[in-house]
Structure 1
Amino acid sequence: MAKKLRKYETLFVLHPDHVEAKDEVVNKITEMVTQDGGEILKQDDWGMRKLAYPIEKKRQGYYVLMEFAAPAETPPKLEQYFRIDERVMRFIVVKLEEKFEPETLAA
């Protein structure tokens, strides 16, 4: 039986000194989502932006927004990864929909 997928969104801010590692971080997130049977729906690079307040004495960060469908056990794994990776200054993972039906994308 296939796992029930839910729709999520994550926004993370990379440390300005580690922007070159953006693709590596995105690939790791993609790998974590797909190995659990999910899929990346959308990725939007917002680029370097001013932070609302200084974090680690930095005033800018590189923002990446990703939308994905995954089973319920995936977001805690992503949050654990974000906490461990020193390149990520801030992150948030939000559930968008309780149930995700892939065919609704085509409509």
Structure 2
Amino acid sequence: MLELPKVKRFRKWETLFIIHPDYVDQKDDVLERLKQIIESKEGGILKIDEWGMRKLAYPIEKKRQGYYILVEFYGLAELPKELEDFFRIDERVIRFIIVKLQNRFKKEEITQETKVKEGV
């Protein structure tokens, strides 16, 4: 029986996470580690949007503010679990959420979409 080669299907997600106000100076380290994890699962970052210091809806660890960062990315299906593990272990991140934006697509589609957005 002839087996067709498996085509890797990527998914698109976004994560919003809040950095503890005492660790705002280390936000670049958190973003770098996030990038390493995403790239290790054959993914990539599409957009990083730093919202900055904002008031929390309720106190977390007796703090009333946090540094918000929104990251849009793509990768293989197991990627959110890896990121969740990282966020739960890292004491600099006090809250996070990961949301799936698009179900499945080929990696070529994402590069074409990026070129269209950039006007290439």
Q: Same fold (TM over 0.5)?
A: yes
Matched residue SS, 1:98: strand
Question: What is aligned with 1:28?
Answer: 33
Please provide the CA RMSD for this pair.
1.1
The answer to whether the aligner puts 1:11 opposite 2:16 as a matched pair is: yes
Aligned to 2:82, the other structure's residue is in SS state helix
Give the aligned partner of residue 44 of structure 2.
39
Q: Distance in 2 between matches of 1:104 and 1:19?
A: 32
Partner Cα distance (2:36, 2:77) in 1: 16
Q: Which of structures 1 and 2 has the bigger CA Rg?
A: 2
Cα distance in 2, alignment partners of residues 67 and 90 from structure 1: 17
What is the DSSP-based 3-state SS (H/G/I as helix, E as strand, rest coil) of the residue aligned with 1:106? Answer: helix
Aligned residues: 107
Mapping for residues 35-74 of structure 1, pairs under 5 Å: 35-74=40-79
Residue 19 of structure 1: CA displacement? 0.3
- Structure 1: distance between partners of 2:20 and 2:114: 33
Q: What stretches of structure 1 of length at least 5 have no aligned partner?
A: none
Residues 1:104 and 2:113 aligned together: yes
Unaligned runs of 5+ in 2: 1-5
Matched residues in 1 for 2:96 and 2:8: separation? 25
- When the two structures are superposed, what TM-score results if normalisation uses the length of structure 1? 0.95
The CA distance in 2 between the partners of 1:12 and 1:55, in whole Å, is 13
Matched AA of 2:44: E
Report the CA distance between 1:2 and its aligned residue: 5.2
CA-to-aligned-CA distance 1:52-99 (integer Å, 9 cap, x gap): 111011000000000001101110000000000011000001100002
1:17 is aligned with what amino acid? D
SS of match in other structure, 2:65: strand
